[in-house]
Structure formats: structure tokens, C-alpha cells
A and B are shown apart, each in its own frame.
Chain A
Amino acid sequence: MIGNIRELLKAHEGLRREVYLDIENSSMVPKEVVDAMLPYFNQHAYGNPTLTHKLGWEAFETIMESSQKVATFLGCKTLEEVSFTPGETEANNLALIGTAFSMKDKGKKIVISEVEPLSVLHVTDLLNKYGFTTVKIPVDGEGLINLEKLREAVDKDTILVSLSAVNHEIGTIQPVKEALEIVKDKNSKVIFHTDASDAYGKIPFNVLDLNVDLATISSYKILGPRGIGVLYVKEGVHMDRILEGQIGTQKLWPGVENTPLIVGFAKASELAFQNFEENMNHMRRLRDKLIDGIIGKIQDVKLNGPKGDKRASDNVNISFLRCEGEALTIELSLNGVYVSSGSACTRRLLQPSHVLIAIGRKFVEAHGSILMKVTRYHTEEDIDYVLEVIPKAVERIRGIVGSMEVK
């Protein structure tokens, strides 16, 4: 097994350029963020923040300062509204299960959309096994949630609505504020959660403006370290813990706080929000260059998700017809372009991306989809290189399909 991997890696030797665009699934951590984290492993604040000694107090001070930074960027009223968790998955689990547990006597209905990430979708499957019921709101061809169906779905029995602020696969910016108003108008007791992992640092996003009850954000999606995320919990909103143990500074997540990762997340936030407008414009420019370049150079392609201002600044998702996605990702990798696909072949089951199916793409369109996200670190030259590699890769894979009819 390990021998195979080594050979696969060897096949990548001598590449002229490498461009990593798979920010959806993991990211590189910039040097500034790593440098900010390093002292906290062995020089400073490595104590437990709840203990009465210097290193503990240092940790406490550091965690408070980091919480304050994230709280400011998110638009929180107080830093107590920020709860660190080990990531987006855990924050979404906490939001949904914690709310369902604490509200179980008030109702049993949960409302989500068809295009939520798996850490929402699969958690509702779990909750359904324990007596809750979940309604999934459909989306239109660009991935926008149907607000009329949302209005119909929310009733007296509804306890929780969870709708992501930006779709993680196709970059659709959702009308969270309108959705929340509709929901609260139908039933003011409903807890409104949004997974904002693809909004924070990528589009203007502020919890106070939106007035959501709960919001998830993730560190690696803004080029912070993996293993850390935040659940924003609005002051006055109660929820149960889903894990028990030693509770320290994080009232909703037991265990010893990981100070270096918390520092890394705060630093990554600082970098994302420094020159925010400039960063966004840079990403938008590269995003559109990539989209327009692919559509202009290659036949039989389809953009998944909306265009322009309705789309997150970083997201590119394109279906290459007559082209199977897994084969394409490998061919691209061998040429130094690292992306992911919504093809079923990269998963264990035969079903491709649920998001692409929800917007009405056919299976073959979903199998041939490629997801890319640009960052402020990518350059025009990176995109030029990607636009040189993709057409050749698509041509080669389509050459293997040859004369077969793919419908």
C-alpha cells in the first residue's frame, strides 16, 4: 500500500508548476499562520487555561484574546458567544444535536435544505432515528433555496432550521436574512443555525446583522490550521452539550483546549479580514478568469452554480461532459493541478454529489464535475497554468471515451 503511494508521488516529480485548488477538502497553512502558532507549542501558554499557574494563565489570556479577535470579525456582541470546537463537522453536530436535545419537549421537526454539507445532512439522518423528523427544502437550478417552500415547512412543531450561508460546492450565496425573517415570522421559538464556513472571510458576513442564533465557521477554509472551528451561539440561546468531560474555558466542548490551533485560527482570520475588499476582488478576478477561460477553451462544459455577485468570491465548479471526474482529477494531478470531483467514483457509493443532483444536473454531469477554490495567494500565472493544463487533460480523458455515447 505505502509502496503504491510512493510510486504515485514519484510520478509527480519534475512538474513545472503546482497549483493547489482543493480548498474545499483541506488547505495549505500560510507561513504567517504557522509562525504565529509555533511559540504556543513549547515556549508560551502551553498550560491548561483553567489551572492556577503561569502557563495556565498565559493560555487563558491567549484564548480570550483569540476569541475576541474571532468575535470581532464575526460581529458578535461578546466573546462568550464564540465556542471553539475541533472543526466544522463538530460545530455542526453540536449545533444540530445540542439544539434538538435541549428542545426535544417543544417539538420534533427540523428543517434543512437539499444542499447542506454532510455534517448537517447525516446528522439529521441520525436525529430522525431518535424521533425527530427532517424536511429538506429544494433549491433552484443555481442552488438558491426556495423561500416559499421554507415558509410552508416551518410550523408549530419546528424547533430548528439549518441553512448554510454559502453552498460549499457551488458557491451559491443564500438569502439567510430573508430566510430567517420568514422562519421567525412563522414560529419565533425556532433556533436558526447557519453553516457559514464558506462565507466567513469570503463574503461580507456578520452574525449581528443577520441575527442568526447559531453559526458554524471553520479554520481551514480560511487557510487556518485543520482541527479547529467555531460555533457562534447568540447570547441567551441555550443548548445541550453533546460530549461530556472536563469543562474548561469552552462551555460547550469538554477537554483540554488546543491553544496553538486557536491562535492559528485567529491569525488566519486576521489575514483574511486584513484588506478584505482587496482580497475578495482578487479572488473574484481569478475565479472569473478560471470560469471564463474554461468555458471559452473547452466545448461541452457547464458552470454549476450562479455567476457574478450571487456566487462566493472563491468558488469554481464546472461539469465536463463526456469526462469522468476521478480520471480527470488524476490526470490533472499528474500535471500539477490539484482539485476534487463530485463523481461517484471518488466515493464509496454509486451516487454522485447530492448538491449537483439537487440543482438538476444529470448523473453524467455530476460525474464529470470539478470543484476548485481560489485564494488570495493564487496568482494570474497560476490560473494561466491551470488553463493550459485543463484543456489537455480533458482532451486526453475524452479520447479514452472515444466513440461511446455518454448520456
Chain B
Amino acid sequence: MSRAPLPYNPKILELFRNPKNLGKMENATVSAVAGNPSCGDMIIFYLKINDKDVIEKASFESYGCAANIATSSIVTEMIKGMKLEDAWEISWKSVVKAVGGLPSVKFHCGILAVGALKRAIRAYYKNKGTSPNWLPKEQTFEEKQALEEEELAEILSKRMKAEEEK
């Protein structure tokens, strides 16, 4: 176990201190969670989507570190007014860029944010009962990573339980 220095940049600090689009959205069209509190890392996105498949409003809540809060907040800013098809194209790298860079140990925060966004978009079309042809059947990198983190949390907590029972 080791520690890394975390020289967060001014953009992250600003989003940490004054997060944009924070809070539960009561009339959201769709919401999606990614991460697991056992990993110290969980976010939820709320999207208000109109009948032209455009994101009118986005908000988030986060249980996590400053990087987690900042990346979630910036994603809600990036996707506001976007068509779902365009929002789908946002990659974790572009999120990292938008927050002005992240320490490499915090890349997973950007990945988790994009994972949650993609899950929300999928959930929207699932609810709608349609699937546009730009939406890939197979999971993207970010979705797989989010899943992997969640599974890791499961494994760790199972291991803990097993230790307790010993």
C-alpha cells in the first residue's frame, strides 16, 4: 500500500468547492449509478431528456474524493443541451482534459463518470423500448471498468466476511 501526492489543479479545486449541478433531480427522465461505496467511489447522474433525445438538464450526487466530485460535475456541464448521440461519444480522456488533468491514480474517477453517463443513456433507450443504430450492443471501455470496480468491491467485501467467519 502506498500513497501518491495529489496536486489537484485549480479547476478541480473550484468544482470541489462549488460543484455545479449538484443534487437530486425530482423530475428526471432517467438516472444511473456507477461505483460502489466500498471502494469509496460512487456517483449518480440524473438526466432530463426531451422528446428529441436532447439532454435539457443534468445533475449529480457523489460519494467520493475531490476528483470524483469534480469529474461528475464537469460531465453534467459538458452534456447539457447535447443530443444523446453526441453525449455517447464523450470519452473518459475528454473528461480528464475538461477538468484540466488528473493525477494518474485518479483516472478511474473520470472513467466512472463516463461509465455512469453511458449507463444512463442505455437505461433511457431501454425504458423507451428502442435502440438507435449508433448505440453499440457491447459494453464500452468505461462501462466495463465501472463494472470491474463494482465487482472488485464485491470480492473485497466477500473476502472480509470470510475472514470474519474464520
Contacts and interface: CB of A to CB of B under 8 A. Distances in A.
Interface size class of chain A, counting residues whose CB lies under 8 Å from the partner chain: 35 or more
- Which of A1, A343, A364 has the most chain B CB within a 10 Å cutoff? A364
Interface in B33-80: 33, 37-42, 44, 61-66, 68-69
Interface residues of B, number: 40
A401 B2 contact: no
A290 B73 CA distance: 34
B66 A326 contact: yes
Interface string A1-35: 11111011001000000000000000000000000
Contacts of A36: none
A8 B13 contact: yes
A363 B22 contact: no
B81 interface: no
B61 A401 contact: yes
A401 B43 CA distance: 8
Q: Which of A349, A354, A367: most chain B CB closer than 10 A? A: A367
A387 B142 CA distance: 41
Contacts of A407: 37
Interface string B17-29: 1010011100000
Contacts of B9: 3-4, 7
A4 B12 CA distance: 10
A363 B156 contact: yes
Interface string B153-166: 10011001000100
Contacts of A350: 39-40, 149, 152-153, 156
Contacts of B2: 347-348
A179 B101 CA distance: 51
A364 B160 CA distance: 13
Contacts of A1: 7
B94 to A, nearest CB: 20
A118 interface: yes
B44 A404 contact: yes
A334 interface: yes
Most chain B CB within 10 A, of A2, A325, A326, is at A326
Contact of B40 (A345, A348, A360): A345
